[in-house]
Structure 1
Amino acid sequence: MALEPDTSSANIAQALGSLPTGSPVSEVARRLLDHFTTGDVAPGTRLPSERQLAASLAVGRSAVREALAALELLGIVDVRPGSGTYLRGAASELLPQTLRWGLLIGEKNTEELLELRSGLEIYVARLAATRASDALRVRLTTHLERMRTAGDDLAAFAKADFDFHRDLTGAAGNATLHDLLHVVRSLLQVYADRAVHSREAADIALAEHDAIAAAIEARDADRAASAMAVHMVTANARLASLVDQVD
């Protein structure tokens, strides 16, 4: 028989355990997220007080307060003044988004993000090759034409490039993959918008997108994945170079 989710604030606090001394707010939020997604806490459960959480995690109350504020902004908990803090969703609702939240509240490593993006984009291309609808294939062609006619308007080229990858991800038919890639792209967007900084770079990117689209049109998953892998090598190199310049 399945165990009932825990609704005891004292038991929740006890289950969390202490964190290493001086842990940042993001680690407090991560520990809370880990516990919420076990399924042991029922949606609507009133969480322990800031004082109880701080004692259980061996951190200051300010760290707990900031972590709960971040989780409220992300829609994970509901802070009700004068009443307490409550868990909003069930584990089944929280689990598909845990990776997204983890990336948002954690420290960012650009090199790791680029590696993650590369792997996800390659898998997206493989899935899209067999799952893309005829309407989607038409949209990809439209985005390619926008890239081709952008000329020296590199901002317009970048927007068409973004739209190409967005629609390709939608064609993969995997909502969790879509969400994760969206976050990774968002974290890299500050660099991505400026990555194609010359007409020559744009021409190279266009040729790579043409190859991806041709493989999608042919419904060739291996070819699509290979074409995306080639594109990711040059695209990530451009982004990495720009990150080095900014740093």
Structure 2
Amino acid sequence: MPAYRPDGSPDLAAALGALPTGTPVSEVARRLLDLFTSGEVAPGTRLPPERQLSATLGVGRSAVREALAALEILGIVDVRAGSGTYLRGTASELLPQTLRWGLLIGERNTQQLLELRAGLEIYVARLAAARTSGADAAELEGHLARMRDSVDRLAVFAKADLAFHHTLARMARNDVLVDTLHVVRSLLQVYADRAVHDELAALRAIAEHDAIARAVASRDEDAAASAMAAHMATATARLAAEAARR
């Protein structure tokens, strides 16, 4: 919990504490994120200047500067010229950005991300089947129709495919699950956009999506999870192959 000044405002620098000698930029960012997501720092709070953070953490100013720059890119802090650096949102609003940052600054392992995505998508399909409505089912069918109409335009096909999965995730009605899945998907998107290379692969993907949509519409949770598992097996193989080519 942050230390507080006599006026009741948090002493952010004192709350951070010193880091070990030779600490990398990623650890500086992690320490800042721990503080920001603790709920003790109000949105809009101005952070201490770089030199104060540097002295408190026991690291060079360049490490602090790089960590803050990365957090700014991710939308966690707002750097205002001539004014200072400010925390953007509440702890709950920062969760998706925090998850994204944690994955990006760790050792990125594509295979592990693919496995995580598969597990999340299967659970999403199960929840969507349990919580679907008629309007939801119609929306899925609309995405499927666009996929069928664009088998010869793979860039358009990829967008319709992604929209299908986004709708399915929304149907699960679990914001934390959706945020986590969005982070993993975004990290894999560079491969996903190019994973379907030909019409044959597109037609197979359509058949798999159709099986998912039918199971969800009939509220069959087991069938939805099974259909998604089958789709994830082929989709994961395509994404892994695309990643290996890079």
TM-score between both structures, scaled by the size of structure 2 = 0.86
* Native 8 Å contact 1:130 1:221 kept in 2: yes
Who is 2:170 aligned against? 170
1:215 pairs with 2:212: no
Paired AA for residue 131 in structure 1 = R
1:70 pairs with 2:44: no
- Name the SS of the counterpart of 1:86 in structure 2: strand
- Name the SS of the counterpart of 1:129 in structure 2: helix
- Name the SS of the counterpart of 2:79 in structure 1: strand
Q: Distance in 1 between matches of 2:175 and 2:61?
A: 36
Q: What CA RMSD, in Å, does the superposition of the two structures yield over aligned residues?
A: 2.6
- Name the SS of the counterpart of 1:194 in structure 2: coil
Who is 2:203 aligned against? 203
Q: Distance in 2 between matches of 1:69 and 1:7?
A: 26
Give the Å deviation of 1:51: 1.9
Q: Distance in 1 between matches of 2:24 and 2:16?
A: 16
- The number of aligned residues is 243
Q: Deviations over 1:199-247 (max 9, x none)?
A: 222222222111111110110112111111111111111111111111x
Give the Å deviation of 1:165: 0.8
Who is 2:128 aligned against? 128
* Native 8 Å contact 1:129 1:215 kept in 2: yes
Who is 1:55 aligned against? 55
- Name the SS of the counterpart of 2:245 in structure 1: helix
Cα distance, 1:12–1:203 mapped onto 2, change above 3 Å: same
Q: Which region of structure 1 is more displaced relative to structure 2, 200-209 or 161-170?
A: 200-209
Give the Å deviation of 1:33: 0.4
Who is 1:230 aligned against? 230
Paired AA for residue 207 in structure 1 = A
* Native 8 Å contact 1:6 1:41 kept in 2: no
Task: Point out where structure 2 has 5 or more consecutive residues left out of the alignment.
Answer: none
Who is 1:183 aligned against? 183
Paired AA for residue 52 in structure 1 = Q
Give the Å deviation of 1:83: 4.1
* Native 8 Å contact 2:76 2:97 kept in 1: no
* Native 8 Å contact 1:128 1:169 kept in 2: yes
Cα distance, 1:135–1:112 mapped onto 2, change above 3 Å: same
